[in-house]
Structure 1
């Protein structure tokens, strides 16, 4: 994983400490950021990158795994501050990121508002306003499943729909590393589906996990939970078995 740098960003939300893990990929020519956190996270991103000796202005490209607020909240601000950065996303996700299509997470939140208990409606309305405030960002380059990007000895695009339709993960064959985005997360030491109750297509999300077993994965980096430290293949199989057997 020599070209892979994990940016563990700790922050407080509603008095609770949270952690997200964007990733920097670096070779002799390019510095690539994978996802960029919530709105107003540029300072936290820069601080985390500098811990690896890499200032944020050194970033040349951003690969976006999907459209959710916690992954792209600072994307437009980052592009505005550093216009040279090339933004890359899956072709299905691009129009949502650019504001051409309505955010699917916003549509989901609006649809759920009517069925929320009365005491939860204010939080639901606040979340909707937050999603509505997300600044769109034009995508410079779209990618599709199976495409290999030429950096770090090759970065394979793996379309992992379910959490959102255009969700992508990245596989780096040289180090057998999967950057999972939200295809899977680490919770209490085991791999799980990210917020399965909010997955836009849970069956597709499980098919995506099955598909990951086709690659020889030794390291999994999750946006929520960081690096998975146990056997990757077994962890993916265990996740699937819990859904198949309901445990």
Structure 2
């Protein structure tokens, strides 16, 4: 697996379906999402290539409950007892206590949905040590802000590192041919659009998406231009 440095302290592990991000602090590592089930050995290898041990992972932040984001969380959380975090509305799904709501698939999305989603392996339930809400702060990157991004799922979040001008959007925003778009497979498109328009007001240089190439350099301008073309 290729390991890509996007900015000092920020690395991306790309997978066939989506990507995982690693943030490096002096006192430990934070994973943003964990890929599909079976991704843990590859993530461990990427961490080792950067000169760290898997036991250095202190936090796992899950942007939402979908299997391609939480699939390897249970295995990774078992390495060294990392703190697992997810929004309180998605946490019951992450823990396996209830099924998540199905997305409303548009006609345009359906061919891709039917070709990809059935092949994503089921995720094992994983504990959630900290349930997040909009406005929470996490001790990552000098102070990370949790931003509620309902629409893709009810409990989707973005994570903003204002000191470093880095934004992790999960699947609320994606990228196709290097252009940001509204994420697909949403439970509520209108709320997803509202979330998109809200988050693009942030001053960020780097925007990291769950799927598609990140924007590195003046990401705020790129995101705002993209938001102008998003309709309910």
Q: Which of 186, 199, 207 in structure 2 is aligned with 1:199?
A: 186
After the TM superposition, list the runs of 4 or more consecutive aligned residues in structure 1 that deviate by more than 3 angstroms. Answer: none
TM-score under structure 1 length normalisation: 0.80
Matches within 5 A, 1:84-123: 84-104=81-101, 107-108=102-103
Counterparts of 1:135 and 1:127, CA distance in 2: 16
Once the two structures are superposed, residues 64-112 of structure 1 have per-residue CA deviations (whole angstroms, 9 ceiling, x without a partner) of 00001110111112223x15111111111111111112122xx459x99
Q: Is 1:160 matched up with 2:149?
A: yes
> How far has the Cα of 1:179 moved from its partner?
1.1
2:27 corresponds to: 29
Q: How many residues get paired?
A: 222
Instruction: Select between 211-220 and 58-67 the one with higher mean Cα deviation.
Output: 211-220
Does 2:214 align with 1:227?
A: yes
Which stretches in structure 1 are left out of the alignment for 5+ residues? 11-17
Name the residue aligned to 1:44.
42
Larger radius of gyration: 1
The separation in 2 between residues aligned to 1:151 and 1:229, in whole angstroms, is: 20
1:241 is aligned to 2:228: yes
Instruction: Mark the runs of 5 or more structure 2 residues left unpaired by the alignment.
Output: 1-6
TM-score, reference length from structure 2: 0.84
Q: 8 Å contact 1:5–1:52 — kept in the other structure?
A: no
- CA, structure 1 residues 151+234, in 2 after alignment: closer, same or farther (shift >3 Å)? closer
C-alpha separation in 2, matches of 1:94 and 1:87: 10
Could you say which structure has the higher helix fraction? 1
